[in-house]
Amino acid sequence: MDNCIKPKFVFIILQTRIHRGENVKKSIMSLTTAAALVCALVTGCGTAASSDNTVSSTNTTSNTANAGAASISGTKTSALGLNAVVNPNAMPKPGQVVIAVDDTYPPMEYTDPSNPNKLIGFDIDLGDALAKYLHEKVVWKPTSFDGIVEGLKAGKYDMVISTLNDTPQREKQIDFVDYMSFGQVIVVKKGHAGNIKTIADLKGKKVGVEIGTTSQDALQKEGGIDVKEYNTFPDAFQDLADGRLAACVVDEVVGRYYVNLQPNNYQIAGKPFLSEPVGIGINKKNASLDAKVKKAIAQMKKDGTYNKIYTYWFGAQ
CATH of the domain at 201: 3.40.190.10
User: Do 176 and 290 lie in a common domain?
Assistant: yes
Lowest-confidence segment of 17-21, 49-53, 262-266 by average pLDDT:
17-21
Decide if 279 contacts 176 (C-beta within 8 A). yes
Burial tier of 92 (Cβ tally within 10 Å: 0-12, 13-18, 19+) = middle
Q: Clarify whether residues 77 and 155 are in a common domain.
A: yes
Q: Mean pLDDT, to the nearest integer, of 18-32? A: 28
pTM for the model: 0.62
DSSP class per residue in 252-303:
HHHHHHHHHH-TTTEEEEEEEEEEEEEEEEEETT-HHHHHHHHHHHHHHHHH
| 124 and 38 within one domain | yes
6 found inside a domain: no
| pLDDT grade for 315, boundaries at 50, 70 and 90 | low
- 191 shares a domain with 129: no
**pLDDT higher than threshold 50 for residue 298:** yes
Across 71-173, the runs of DSSP E, i.e. the strands, are 96-101, 110-111, 119-120, 137-142, 159-165
Domain count within the chain: 2
Residue 94 has pLDDT above 80, yes or no: yes
* Dist CA 62 CA 178 (whole Å): 26
Encode pLDDT of 123-141 as tens digits: 999 999 999 999 999 999 9
> What pLDDT score does 316 carry?
59
What's the pLDDT at 255? Answer: 83
**For residues 247-267, average pLDDT:** 85
Top pLDDT among 69 and 239 is at 239
Which structural domain, as residue segments, surrounds residue 189? 184-275
Give the per-residue pLDDT at 113.
Answer: 83
State the average pLDDT for the chain: 79
Residues 143, 108 share a domain: yes
In a domain, 77, yes or no: yes
What is the per-residue pLDDT for 35?
A: 31
pLDDT of residue 190: 95
**Which pLDDT band, with edges at 50, 70 and 90, does 252 fall under?**
confident
